[in-house]
Amino acid sequence: MYVFWYPLIMSTFWIIGGILFYHKIEKKPSLPINETPMVSILVPCYNEENTIENTVERLDNLNYPSYEIIAINDGSKDRTHDVLEELSRNYEKLRVIQLKTNAGKANALYLGLIASKGEFLVGIDADSYLDPDALNYMIPHFVTPNYGERVGAVTGNPRVRNRNSLLARIQLCEFSSIISLIKRTQRLLGKVMTVSGVVVAFRKSALIDCGLWDRDLMTEDIGVTWKLQKRFWDVRYEPRAICWMLVPETLAGLWKQRVRWAQGGIEVLIRHWDIWLDWKNRRLIPVYLEQIMSIIWSIAWLILFVLIVVQILAGKLSFFPMFWQGQYLALLSLIQFVVAMLLDKRYDEKLLRYYLWAIWYPTFYWYFNAIVIVYAIPKTIFSKRGKFATWDSPDRGLSL
C-alpha cells in the first residue's frame, strides 16, 4: 500500500503547492531593483577547456552594473589552466584562481569567497550561463527594506539547454515537474531541501555565520542549505532567475550524477539528524521526513518489483491488477508534468513541445532512481569521512 499511496499523495501535494506558489508569489510583479550592490560570481572549474570560454563570454554581458567573475580552476588535468589565463587577459571582469590539486567544488567555492569583493556571491557551474537579467531578480531578495534582512540564499531556476537526446529531454521535463515544482511547494512552506548548486546567490555574511560549505560532503549545495536554515537564515526560490545548463546524455554520466546526488542527500540526513533535538528547528522536520520517506519508497518499490516479477514468472500472480495500479500512478505523474510545465512555460517558450517525452519518466526513471538509492546507501555508510569531496569531470552531453 505504501508503494502506491506515497507517490499518489506527494504528487497531489506538489501540484497543489506549485499552483498556490504561483498565485501567491510568482504571478506578482518581481521585486524592484532599487540597489545594485557588488556581486561576485564564483565559477568552480574542473576539466572545462571546452565549456569555460562560452560561460565567461555569457557572464561578461549581464544586465547588471556591478559584478566580478571569479573562476577557480580546481587542479584540472586538461587545458583549463591555459584557457583561463588567456581569458583573463581578454575580460576585465574576470579574475582567476589556479589550484594545483583537485580538492573539490566546496573547497573551490571557499577560496573564491575569500578572494571575492562582493557582499553577495553567485555560484554557477562552469558549463552553465545566467540569463542576462538573472541578477536583477535574485539580488532584490537580499536588499529590499523590511523584506530581505534574514535572506541567506536565493536559488534560481535551472533550464536544460541540450535537448537532442532522449535522456536530455526526459531531464528537461524532470527539472520542471520534479525539481521546480517541489521547490515552489517547499518554499511556500518556508523550508527547502536544497538550493540548486548550478545557480544560487548567497549573502556572504550568512555563509560565514553558518560555517561555509562542508568540504567533505559530495553535494555542497544540500549541506550549506541545511546549515543556513539551522541558523535561521531564509532560503528563497526565484523562478525568474534563469540559468541555462547542460545535463548528462549517457547512462554512465547520468548514473554518476544521480549516485552523487543520492549520496550527498543521505550524508546530509545523517549529519543533521540533530534537528530532532531542538524545537527551534521543527520546521525542518517535514523536509527531513519527506526525504526519509522517499528513500524508503525507493527501496520498497524495487523490492516489490522484484517480488512481483518472481511471482508472475512462477504463475502465482496475475500481471494485470498490478499493471492498472501502476497506470494510476503514471497518469498522476503526467498530470504533475503538465501542471509544472505550464508554470515554467513563461520562462521557456518551447517547453511544452517536449511534454510527450515525459511518458518515459515513470517508465524508466522510477526504476533507475530506485536502483541509485539502493546503491548509494551502503556507499555512503562505508565512505571515509573527513577528506575533501573531490569531483570528476561530468558528462556534458553529446551535443548542444
Better pLDDT: 394 or 342:
342
Dist. CA 282–CA 293, nearest whole Å: 17
Cell numbers linked to 91: 575580460
Mean pLDDT of 165-190: 86
- Per residue in 51-78, pLDDT tens? 899 999 999 999 999 999 999 998 888 8
Q: What is the pLDDT of residues 87-97, one digit of tens each?
A: 999 999 999 99
Say what the pLDDT of residue 388 is.
63
Range 32-251 classified under CATH 1.10.630.10: no
Q: Is the pLDDT of residue 43 over 90?
A: yes
151 phi/psi in degrees, rounded to 5: -80, 120
pTM of the model: 0.88
For the chain, the maximum distance between any two Cα atoms, rounded to a whole number of angstroms, is: 71
| Cell (9 digits) for 148 | 530581505
- Residue 370 has a CB neighbour count (10 Å cut-off) of 20
State percent of the chain over pLDDT 90.
36
Q: Is 291 exposed, middle or buried (CB count within 10 Å of its CB: 0-12, 13-18, 19+)?
A: middle
CB 217 within 8 A of CB 223: yes
Q: What is the pLDDT of residue 220?
A: 87
Q: Does residue 400 have a pLDDT over 70?
A: no
**Residue 290, pLDDT above cutoff 70:** yes
Ordered by start, the domain boundaries in the chain are: 2-11+279-381, 32-251
Let me know if 269 is exposed, middle or buried by CB neighbors in 10 A (0-12, 13-18, 19+): middle
pLDDT score for 312: 67
Return the minimum-mean-pLDDT range out of 108-122, 308-322, 365-379.
Answer: 308-322
User: CA-to-CA distance for 110 and 54, rounded, in angstroms?
Assistant: 24
The pLDDT score that the predictor gives to residue 357 is: 78
Q: 326 pLDDT exceeds 80?
A: no
Least confident of 10-19, 130-139, 277-286, 374-383: 374-383
Please state the rounded mean pLDDT for residues 234-254: 91
**Nearest-angstrom CA–CA distance, 287 and 182:** 11
Separation CA 185–CA 18 (nearest Å): 5
Across residues 144-165, what is the average pLDDT? Answer: 88
Closest CA to 92 of 120, 116, 56, 64: 56
Distances from the Cα of 97 to the Cα of 45, 70, 115, 116, 204, angstroms: 10, 7, 9, 11, 19
Give ∠ CA 349-368-126 in degrees, rounded to 5: 50
Q: Which residue has the higher pLDDT, 125 or 314?
A: 125
Q: What b/e string do you get for 103-113 counting C-beta neighbours within 10 Å, with b at 16 or more?
A: bbbbbbbbbbb
Dist. CA 223–CA 193, nearest whole Å: 9
Rounded Cα distance, 214 and 230, in Å: 14
Cα dihedral 74/79/82/86 (nearest 10): -110
Q: 315 falls in which pLDDT band (50, 70, 90)?
A: low
Side chain identity, residue 48: E
Q: What angle do CA 76, 68, 53 make, to 5 degrees?
A: 40
For residue 59, the SS3 value is helix
Q: What percent of the chain has pLDDT over 70?
A: 92
Confidence of residue 6 (pLDDT cuts 50, 70, 90): confident
Q: Per-residue b/e over 22-50, b at no fewer than 16 CB within 10 Å?
A: beeebeeeebebeeeeebbbbbbbbbbbe
Sheet hosting strand 120-124, strand order edge to edge: 94-99, 67-74, 39-45, 120-124, 199-203, 151-160, 234-245, 129-130
Asked if the model's pLDDT at residue 143 lies above 80, the reply is: yes
